[in-house]
Structure 1
Amino acid sequence: MKKVYDDKQIEVIKFNDGHALVLGAPGCGKTDILSLRVLMSHQIYNVDYKDMLCLTFTNRASREMKERIKQTVGDVTADLFVGNLHRFCINFIYDNNLVPIDTGIADDTEQEEIFSELIGRPQIPGWQIMKVTSVAARNYMKENNFPFEIVGNDNKIDSETKYFAERYADYKKENRIIDFDDILLITYKALMEKGYQQKYVRSSYKWIQVDEVQDLNPVQLAIIEKLVSEDYNSVVYLGDERQAIYSFLGARHESIERIKQKAGKNFFILSNNYRSPMYLLDMLNNYAVYKLKVDTSLLPKTSNNQHLDDGLMLINCNSTSDQHNLISTLGRNLYLNGNEKFEESKDEKDLESIGILVRTNADADEISKNLENHKIGHIKLSKKDVFKMVDFKTLYSHFSVVVNDTRFSDWARILYQTNALDTLQLSKRCIKKMRDIGLTPLDLMYYENSSYYIEFCNSYNNKEIVLFDTETTGLDVFNDDIIQIAAMKMRNGTIVPGSELDIIIKMDGTKKIPPTLHNGFINPMVEEYKKRSTGEQNENQYFMEPEDAFEFFINYVGDAELLGHNVNYDVHILENNIKRRTKNLVFNTPVYWDTLKMARMLDPNLRKHSLESLLEIYGLEGVNSHNALDDIRATKSLTDYCYEKMSKLVDLQASFISHPELKKIQRRLVRKYWPLYQHTLDKIYSDEIKEENTFDFEFDYVYHQMLSLKIIKEIKLYPYIRSLFNKVVIDSEKDLYFNNQLVNHLYEFRTFNEGDFFQNGVLDERLFIMTIHKSKGLEFDNVILYDITHGKMPRYNSRSLDEDARVLYVAMSRAKKRLYITYENKVSEFLGDYDQVMEHFVEMHPEKKAKLLNFENILVNSLNSTD
């Protein structure tokens, strides 16, 4: 059935001229129209997908948006960015090489670890960490001359906070870590530079839409405005002032007023609610008018006249224990009623969801314990998010170091979790020492008494090495074709005269040479291929059929070792081309050396390690022209530079490796972790498509191996994590190989939180406990609000009564059918002081409440007696 849009929605969908602000209460269809705007702007206004930027507040919202866009547009093009601003900024930072590639990102649990180390106490209150990190962020802004409207006024800061803010900044720099504040600040600093839209990729967009604008802080809003191109089509902000509940993250309530001024006449109000029945919406509207002081012109309306007698209910309890038990009873009853209805109707809509919403993580823990005691199955989302716990992070670290063995922060976690070292702090110190002298833990596992540096320096001085490079039709090592192989031989560090080789390989017409490379760079292979195909070639230049070309190169290499820049790519695309494009050739891959890895280990603080940038930074001879022959000549210059630096460290490495304490670490690591590392590494470049070569299989294998080896503990919700990755991350049609599934999505595996389980049918359970803040953006058929008691909502020491009132609005508006509110003796003044709100609720009769509690006690006693 074709969806029908109302007049206001159509105006927003068609908007394409300047800035606009769209306000809409929960249930007004914002996600639908945001998705349709993408299609309309592309088809009607000819806006290219690469010029579009869709920003959401959470990753969960972005994934929902992608699903809606996919339903509307078809497959979501890779050129279209849909995600939250932090994720966009991470891409911006790494794509523009603003930080070294092995820089780690510290989330809040890692910040807790850092501050425990800095302050010397095991448990540091969250408010203290936030206080220090905010001062550190302000220091960065002031040092880099951020505008006053972003930095704001100076507040008085105590000496202890100043001290730890400086130590925290130093710690991050020393350990190559950035936090979520840094992600925004580094991005904005780059966008303040003159000519930034010409200098940086991802810095200019003609079409931008931003959801949940009320939750964005001044830095985030400033970044968005910097991303607007001079010849832009439209910038559309969407939000709801009633749901502004993130001031503790820096969001300012007045931001919407500023955007409203900028939008001018382009101010739209979505006035139809498509989620809530009238009895719920009338209550929410009255609360918005009388408590939140919302203008009546902003109120939504609905045509849904459905009515439930118990749709809005207040439940007065005598104690906290009564509240807990009553919530258990309600949760159980709603769950069982849903099951009964489903048995009759077989309609999955009858399997209603139940959300128990609380103010604090401690409340969530208490209610969860009570539900467990009452034998009621549920899922709890609270502060200890499974994706931020050490066990999941250890799993992630494993895959991270397999993909890039210079990810030192991930190695530190592996060393600690495998008991190679006794504490995380010791592991970090050991890793820092190794990094300083050019070692990684892979050296300890791969070599018994040697290292990558030592072995390379020996080969450089004593063996024949073939420097080689390839030019190809694309970056897919499994399916793209090699167009050119160029090589030269080096013996004892010196180029062998007359050893240059330059082969252009005939193409069969199934693939084309891309006319341009990155940043519009003209691909020299187009012209070179034309020349060779007409017979124009110099000495040691060839134009060959694939079979002849690869056989010639294999014979040329002989028993020599190989070397290149980012040679992993060249070696593996060579292996697969020989398999695909020849009949009987066998290539036994020799030892190979990578100047990209050498440069990363020698200079890990460099933002960029491309051949072109390294030549410039080090002042070396050569040019990275993307003609393979030019590139290997340049690689020889870089090889000599790396050898000179590496040879000065080999004695230090040998001494370090032979130390008795290091030998203990080595033995533990080899025994407990090396087989697991090899197991995953062996699949990275496998071209076999089978179940064992999927990320899902390997993730499950590594998880259970780590469990059995006691590297990690059992992860709660593990089956859902696995299901989530399969349904949301891995595209079985596009990501055919293990390499695609892991390497292309590695970062994405760290972007999830437990809220993402509410997507794509991942969850079987229907009863959930979470804080109100975590519930934002979600909806439940039935909502039970816990402890909306006078003195607790709001608290007596509330920092912002207005924001607390909005928090309650967010909580109540999560309900689609029923809203139950429990309180102890006296309901919150946010409700009790307003007759216009209270008249919508009915009080649960004391006798009914007593019966429910009595029944629950009997049931629990019965269940316990059978254990």
Structure 2
Amino acid sequence: MNFSPLQLRKPALAALGERAENLFRDHHYRECTQVMRQFAEGVLRTILKDDRHTFSEMMRTPLVRQLADSLTFEYFRRIRDLGNEASHFRLGTSGTILETGERHYRVRTADDAAECLKYGHGIAVWLMSLLDREFRYPDFRPLTPPRARSAAQGAPVVFNPDQQAAIELSQGRHLVLAPPGCGKTAILTERIAVALKDGVNLSDMLCLTFTNRAARGMKERIDERFTGRCMDTLYVGNLHRFCSRLLFDNDVVSEISTILDEDDVHDVIEGLLIENIPGGCRGRSLPGNAADYIMARSARLFQEANGFPEETFHRTPEFDLNKKNQDELDAFGLIKVDDFGRCIELDHAAIDAAARRYLEYKTAQHLLDFNDLLLKAWAWLDATPEACGRYAWIQVDEVQDLSPLQLDIVKKLWNDSIDRSVCVYFGDEQQAIFSFMGAKLDTLRALHKTHEIHRLYRNFRSPDYLLNMFNTYAQRVLECDPEFLPKAEKTVARPEGALRAIRTATPQSQLMLLCDLLEGRRPEETTAVIVPSNREADAVSAAFKAQDIEHFKISGNDIFRQNILKAAKAYLSVLKDDFRSAPWAQLVYRLSSKKNLSLKKIRDYLAVEFPRRGLLASDLMLYSTHDEKEPVSALEDFMRAYEGELVVFDTETTGLDIGLDEVIQIAAVKLRAGEVVERLVLYLETEREIPKMLGNIPNPMLEEYEAHRAELVTPEAGFKIFLDFVGYAPVVGHNVEYDANIVNAQYAVLKDQLRRVRGDAAGPDEDVDRTELVRRFDTLKLSHALEPAILKAAGLARLPSHKLKDLIAVLGLEGSNTHKADDDVEATVSLLRWFHAQARPLVKLQRRFLSNPSVVRMSDTLRKIVLPMFLEHRNLMYRRMPADDEAILVQVFRQFIEALPNYTDDEGEIENIRKKLPLIYEYLDRVLINTTSQPTLYAQLQRNLVQINSLKEPDLCSSDIVRDRVFISTVHKAKGLEFDNVIVTSVIDGTYPFFKNHDKADILEDARKLYVAISRTKRTLVLTMPAANAWNYAQRPSRFLESISTYFEKSSA
């Protein structure tokens, strides 16, 4: 179909294209991508008449680069990567597929195959244009509907009076109590529209949520409501991510700081404890709740030492000391024992000592945990009054889940001193279940005293037969005031079996019942089995697998915490900022097959030993120690280049959007052996507007540009003069990647234009085919390698930042960072000379240090697995990609994962990974990443990396990405999710409430958990209750059901 026009001129290639389409129709997606790779390779071999070089080698030939524009070149790259299991195409044959060693993490979906067919069509169009310039190739006809990104459901056109009142709140402090189903997301979105109409600037608004899922839901509504309007300056997200941005943007924490996840925190704390025990702690593992307890204590100690109000103090969780964890805690020195070796109690002095070591370690290693994001943001705001009151318009969702500390941060951010400033909290009394995170129902009660209260009563989601039952439970069990409970807006006939309570004999018969219940389900409806524990989730999943019931399990070992995803997230981090050591440590650890060293030890080694010798962690991969003639580090490479010819340059531009904004000034200085031999300053024509402000300062280029208007040259002439000035010398700059890439990007556009004017059949042209700025040295990166020397010279414990102006200032060097290219170049030359003087003694130490066998093994692993794709992906960093293609970040993410070694041979784990990886790719591409406003890999990393690092499996389920209709989830992971039908298992005393909970507050907390479980349904609810446990002890239904038992049909199974 799409390849038949090739039949007369290139029948072998046409046959391959048609074969790929037939494989797609037969749902053989991997084979389809393989054949399309053969097709693309065949096109290159046909053009080059080359049967010797590889696909990648042919793509790099001068003739292909001359003939193919950037879009066609991108088609080749994508097909090569997606079809990377294919055999080679041989001239004169149609090619055959050879079976290769299977990699667990290489999965191809219908979307992948459809993309390959589209790219193949683009290559076919290009090939025919070379063969016959008059031929009009037909447009692509997709075999499946094209890729579509997520779209939110429409907001109601008409709001009721209570909703409208909440929408129009525009001044003062307010608390809106909104139970589920009251149209809250639509209200939150409409409030933004009203504020904009009232003249509030987007940059003065702040929309905070508790979870990523809630933020995504609000963003989707906003995108739909404000189609065509750029809303990028409006912050919508959770408070942790906001505080992270606040800390990094204001240089409160070092730019090399890394945020630890839960597993990393456990590893650090365990490592610190082991270091403090003579002889170590072989064979023992620190219980997870002990690490949580120490982290919580460290937060409390930080608050006590930094003047936090007592009401904001971090809540230390309850610690359950029992026979299971006593031996481990004793081995780590965290409990007191009597003379007979019997446990008496926790050793709080030892725990606090460990907490203090943890605080000191994080400071020394530039590490942050999630508590630190809040603690350091509060401390900075408290010490910087001028930074407070930044927002006049704030709305906060799910306020019942916020801790007193988080609420105080919001209070500091709000400017309540001006007219028409407003802060509105939205909360739900019935869902305050996260007290273990520091949030309590008391939060809402405290806000009651200081905020005007509004209530939304109408429930647009739940039918009356469900809502009446929920309300009875809320009134009689949760002790909610019946006057304020929601009222159903939907009155529908109650389906047969809509509310059932079923007793089973044992937990095993409960599993059999679950399978039976799912047999009669409607295929288009979703059904969730909500369980109280990960252990029960595993048992239910095993039973479903035995009965071939397809399902998605949200519990246990979240895929985002597994080795492959940890390694892939670390790779994205080093791709974005390769001078930070912590992600490199994560990458080395995850790629090592034997795990002889802990993650902490690798991190310490890279963060402490490397800087002492002027080494960067990236030197491990970018340089090799196997060739004595080659440099072993960025610093040695720079030292050698410095003895020859270098060009220091800088640009000024119309903005920061590479590929769209344009260069307006280029300044360059040529050095030979460190001495200036030539200077160049150019001003380039542009039709784009030059911004009036650079951040919060006037742009000096406005006046400078006007003063040199008579000297303006065309971009074509300017780039030719500059590139002739550079010749083949390496270029140097501060953050040179930006300057080099904006030059390369604009130059690439000009080259494509010159090709079209010149005609593809014309011969080579030196200006069109010349090499761009390839060999580069970045003084920003070198400043990280030399940071200890800079600190010593400046007499500082920490640099304000690694920006050019700060480095020049602390070192007392000549020059100034004025944001005019010629001034900035002179300042960079001063810095460069200082670096050269400091580097010589360090370079002498490096080679011997890097010859250590352990370091060599790290280096070899990185160079073998990561280096080739890293270099390719780095070259893609600033390239603008088509908005309708799969996000370039997802392409990079997938390619890295597929290059990883197989971590496991466990069939169950492999099946789980292979099922969930395509969902992750699809979620990132269709839900998270906006390819229109983020067209480059750099923009996508910059905007989304923090959120990617915090993703969890429930985030996938809250979208329409997961196509399974049956879900298994624990109660806590089900919060915020909804399903057509819900089955809640083990609704017995001992579980609801937990058998160890005797305090009234704890029992009420368990009652809220059960409320969350039963309120996930939109249509039917089944409760199952084993009459006896696995040891045949009798169990009775949960006492919480007594108040609602009349709503349920009761039976036994």
- Regarding TM over 0.5, the answer is yes
For residues 188 and 768 of structure 1, the distance between their equivalents in structure 2, rounded to whole angstroms, comes to 39
Match of 1:824 in 2: 1026
For residues 795 and 709 of structure 1, the distance between their equivalents in structure 2, rounded to whole angstroms, comes to 37
What is the Cα deviation at residue 55 of structure 1?
0.8
What is the Cα deviation at residue 171 of structure 1?
2.9
For residues 179 and 497 of structure 2, the distance between their equivalents in structure 1, rounded to whole angstroms, comes to 24
Match of 2:1012 in 1: 810
Secondary structure at the aligned position of 1:613 is classed as: helix
Secondary structure at the aligned position of 2:488 is classed as: coil
**Contact 1:291-1:830 at 8 Å conserved across structures:** no
Q: 1:710 to 1:792 in 2, by over 3 A?
A: closer
For residue 633 of structure 1, the aligned residue among 818, 826, 834 is 826
Q: 1:356 to 1:596 in 2, by over 3 A?
A: same
Match of 1:577 in 2: 746
For residue 108 of structure 1, the aligned residue among 237, 250, 262 is 262
Would you say 1:254 and 2:442 are equivalent positions?
Answer: yes
For residues 806 and 610 of structure 1, the distance between their equivalents in structure 2, rounded to whole angstroms, comes to 50
Secondary structure at the aligned position of 1:467 is classed as: strand
What is the Cα deviation at residue 725 of structure 1?
0.7
For residue 606 of structure 2, the aligned residue among 431, 447, 458 is 431
What is the Cα deviation at residue 829 of structure 1?
4.4
For residue 396 of structure 1, the aligned residue among 556, 569, 574 is 569
Match of 1:500 in 2: 679
- Deviation string 1:734-783 (CA, Å, 9 cap, x unpaired) is 44344444454333322321111124420110111111111111111111
Match of 2:839 in 1: 646
For residues 294 and 662 of structure 1, the distance between their equivalents in structure 2, rounded to whole angstroms, comes to 62
- Equivalent positions of 1:453-852 (< 5 A) are 453-460=635-642, 462-496=643-677, 499-507=678-686, 509=687, 511-519=688-696, 521-533=697-709, 535=710, 542-581=711-750, 583=754, 584-585=767-768, 586-589=770-773, 591-603=775-787, 606=799, 608-686=801-879, 694-707=888-901, 714=910, 715-716=913-914, 717-798=916-997, 800-825=1002-1027, 826-834=1035-1043, 837-844=1044-1051, 846=1052, 849=1053
For residues 745 and 777 of structure 1, the distance between their equivalents in structure 2, rounded to whole angstroms, comes to 22
- Equivalent positions of 1:113-128 (< 5 A) are 113-119=267-273, 120=281, 123-128=285-290
Q: 1:35 to 1:157 in 2, by over 3 A?
A: farther
What is the Cα deviation at residue 435 of structure 1?
3.8
For residue 330 of structure 1, the aligned residue among 499, 502, 517 is 517
Moved more, 53-62 or 406-415: 406-415
Match of 1:447 in 2: 623
Moved more, 69-78 or 87-96: 69-78
Aligned residues: 810
For residues 21 and 85 of structure 1, the distance between their equivalents in structure 2, rounded to whole angstroms, comes to 18
Secondary structure at the aligned position of 1:401 is classed as: helix
For residues 447 and 127 of structure 1, the distance between their equivalents in structure 2, rounded to whole angstroms, comes to 42
**Contact 1:505-1:544 at 8 Å conserved across structures:** yes
Match of 2:538 in 1: 365
**Contact 1:623-1:634 at 8 Å conserved across structures:** yes
For residues 903 and 676 of structure 2, the distance between their equivalents in structure 1, rounded to whole angstroms, comes to 49
Q: 1:644 to 1:147 in 2, by over 3 A?
A: farther
Q: 1:594 to 1:39 in 2, by over 3 A?
A: same
Match of 1:377 in 2: 550
Secondary structure at the aligned position of 1:500 is classed as: strand
1:492 aligned partner, one-letter code: A
- Deviation string 1:433-487 (CA, Å, 9 cap, x unpaired) is 2244232343233333421111212222x11222111000111222211110112
Match of 1:861 in 2: none
2:195 aligned partner, one-letter code: S
TM-score by length of 1: 0.89
- Deviation string 1:50-105 (CA, Å, 9 cap, x unpaired) is 11111111001100111112222225610111111111111111111211222111
Match of 1:81 in 2: 235
Would you say 1:174 and 2:364 are equivalent positions?
Answer: yes
- Deviation string 1:561-593 (CA, Å, 9 cap, x unpaired) is 221100111111112223334743534425321
Match of 1:57 in 2: 210
2:296 aligned partner, one-letter code: S
Match of 2:308 in 1: 146
What is the Cα deviation at residue 141 of structure 1?
0.7
**Contact 1:54-1:209 at 8 Å conserved across structures:** yes
For residues 680 and 272 of structure 2, the distance between their equivalents in structure 1, rounded to whole angstroms, comes to 56
TM-score by length of 2: 0.73
Match of 1:165 in 2: 355
What is the Cα deviation at residue 401 of structure 1?
1.4
Match of 2:475 in 1: 289
Secondary structure at the aligned position of 1:544 is classed as: coil
What is the Cα deviation at residue 708 of structure 1?
6.1
| C-alpha RMSD of matched pairs (Å) | 2.5
What is the Cα deviation at residue 623 of structure 1?
1.6
What is the Cα deviation at residue 188 of structure 1?
0.4
**Contact 2:177-2:455 at 8 Å conserved across structures:** yes
Match of 2:151 in 1: none
**Contact 2:668-2:679 at 8 Å conserved across structures:** yes
For residues 697 and 154 of structure 1, the distance between their equivalents in structure 2, rounded to whole angstroms, comes to 42
Match of 1:244 in 2: 432
For residue 72 of structure 1, the aligned residue among 221, 225, 229 is 225
- Equivalent positions of 1:192-207 (< 5 A) are 192-197=382-387, 204-207=390-393
Q: 1:741 to 1:227 in 2, by over 3 A?
A: closer
**Contact 1:683-1:693 at 8 Å conserved across structures:** no
What is the Cα deviation at residue 685 of structure 1?
4.1
What is the Cα deviation at residue 242 of structure 1?
1.1
**Contact 1:691-1:697 at 8 Å conserved across structures:** no
**Contact 2:293-2:316 at 8 Å conserved across structures:** no
What is the Cα deviation at residue 796 of structure 1?
2.2
- Equivalent positions of 1:268-283 (< 5 A) are 268-283=454-469
Would you say 1:316 and 2:503 are equivalent positions?
Answer: yes
Moved more, 214-223 or 393-402: 393-402
**Contact 1:575-1:587 at 8 Å conserved across structures:** no
**Contact 1:831-1:838 at 8 Å conserved across structures:** no
Q: 1:505 to 1:251 in 2, by over 3 A?
A: same
What is the Cα deviation at residue 660 of structure 1?
4.5
For residues 444 and 710 of structure 1, the distance between their equivalents in structure 2, rounded to whole angstroms, comes to 26
For residues 369 and 1023 of structure 2, the distance between their equivalents in structure 1, rounded to whole angstroms, comes to 38
What is the Cα deviation at residue 255 of structure 1?
1.5
**Contact 2:241-2:946 at 8 Å conserved across structures:** no
- Deviation string 1:170-205 (CA, Å, 9 cap, x unpaired) is 33233322111001001001110143327xxxx611
What is the Cα deviation at residue 679 of structure 1?
3.6
For residues 423 and 634 of structure 2, the distance between their equivalents in structure 1, rounded to whole angstroms, comes to 51
- Deviation string 1:112-161 (CA, Å, 9 cap, x unpaired) is 32233234465433321221111100111111111122127999971221
**Contact 1:791-1:828 at 8 Å conserved across structures:** no
Q: Percent identity?
A: 33
Match of 1:12 in 2: 166
Gaps of 5+ in 2: 1-153, 274-280, 318-345, 626-631, 755-766, 789-797, 1028-1034
1:678 aligned partner, one-letter code: L
Moved more, 149-158 or 671-680: 149-158
- Deviation string 1:486-542 (CA, Å, 9 cap, x unpaired) is 12222322333xx332211122x2x111111112x1111111111112x4xxxxxx5
For residues 692 and 224 of structure 1, the distance between their equivalents in structure 2, rounded to whole angstroms, comes to 37
**Contact 2:887-2:925 at 8 Å conserved across structures:** no
What is the Cα deviation at residue 560 of structure 1?
3.0
For residues 118 and 299 of structure 1, the distance between their equivalents in structure 2, rounded to whole angstroms, comes to 50
Would you say 1:215 and 2:408 are equivalent positions?
Answer: no
What is the Cα deviation at residue 429 of structure 1?
4.2
For residues 226 and 59 of structure 1, the distance between their equivalents in structure 2, rounded to whole angstroms, comes to 23
**Contact 2:800-2:806 at 8 Å conserved across structures:** no
